[in-house]
Amino acid sequence: MPLGEFLRAARESAGLSIDELAESTSIRPGLLKEIEKNNFVHCGGDTYARGHLRNIAPKISVDAQTLIDLYMEEHSTASRTIHGMLVENNVTKFVTERKNLSWKPLAIASIIILAAIAGAQIIISNSKTMVTPTVSESLTPPTTTPSAEPAPTVETTVAPDANGKMNLTIAATRGNSNIDVVVDGKHLFKGLIFQGDSKSFNAPASISIYVSNAGDLDLTLNGKALAPLGERNQEVRKTFRSK
């Protein structure tokens, strides 16, 4: 079963609609529909696609690694093996027709195969003597560079709404950012918010936030848009306290 069909079946088995899954994962409904059609073109590449799958997995009661493995098998842009490319170019395919079999094509094919094997052995031998840097996969956006020292926390006093609460929405309008949100002394969210997604929080007393890319985020407090917290890639810590 293709990954998209698997996701749709798991979502329906979990009793969730597209809109309900979108609300719980902060992934746009349109993008979820494309993913369930096995279309990951608008996810922004392998890293972001795997990030979305990790976000979706616990909501539909599926192991995240299972989804990642299916994605890698069906959609990953990783390089193919030398043998796979040779097969695609008909180098390692044997001639099935027995009549009028000529030795010249077989000899040429054998020479090409031997040359390919020799080349592969040279590459493998050289790779053993080279120091290969280890690259760890991270969902942290490449544009975010944390500052050497933590940013100071700025406090703002806010009048609560009619229900006696503050309502804060953080929208990643222009790019991705790491955020850390503490509501009334309790951690509610810590992780990556992708461009196009948003998250909302409310509290009667205080909301403290940390963002790593202030310039790409838009904040709305009690329905009123706030001025930008800072520049692009700037770390900002801010606390909103109820009067």
pLDDT of residue 79: 39
The answer to whether 74 and 80 are in contact (CB under 8 A) is no
C-alpha distances out from residue 64 to 13, 60, 105, Å = 16, 10, 49
Task: Name the residue with higher pLDDT: 231 or 161.
Answer: 231
pLDDT of residue 128: 59
**Dist CA 184 CA 188 (whole Å):** 10
Ordered by start, the domain boundaries in the chain are: 3-75, 153-242
**Dist CA 45 CA 86 (whole Å):** 27
**Dist CA 160 CA 205 (whole Å):** 9
**Dist CA 182 CA 189 (whole Å):** 7
**What DSSP designation does 57 have?**
G
For residues 10-23, b (16+ Cβ closer than 10 Å) or e, as one string? bbeeeebeeeebbe
**Dist CA 96 CA 30 (whole Å):** 49
**Residue where the block lists tokens 């001639």:** 95
Per-residue pLDDT tens over the stretch 59-98: 999 999 999 999 998 887 653 444 444 443 443 343 444 4
When the pLDDT of each residue in the chain is averaged and rounded to a whole number, the result is 82
**Dist CA 190 CA 19 (whole Å):** 23
Q: Which of 59-63, 139-143, 160-164, 173-177 is predicted with the least confidence, judged by mean pLDDT?
A: 139-143
C-alpha distances out from residue 233 to 2, 86, 137, 144, 165, Å = 38, 45, 20, 5, 30
User: How deeply is 110 buried, as exposed, middle or buried, from its count of CB atoms within 10 A (0-12, 13-18, 19+)?
Assistant: exposed
Ranges of H-type helices in the chain:
3-13, 18-25, 29-36, 46-56, 64-75, 82-88, 103-129
Whether the pLDDT of residue 99 is over 60: the answer is no
Beta-carbon count within 10 A of 1 CB: 9
pLDDT of residue 14: 92
pLDDT of residue 218: 95
Whether the pLDDT of residue 130 is over 90: the answer is no
Minimal CA–CA distance to 236: which of 174, 171, 179, 172? 179
Residue 36 banded pLDDT, cuts 50, 70, 90: very high
Domain 3-75 in CATH 2.60.40.420: no
Residue 106 banded pLDDT, cuts 50, 70, 90: confident
- What crossing angle do the helices spanning 18-25 and 29-36 adopt, rounded to 10°? 120
The answer to whether 221 and 158 are in contact (CB under 8 A) is yes
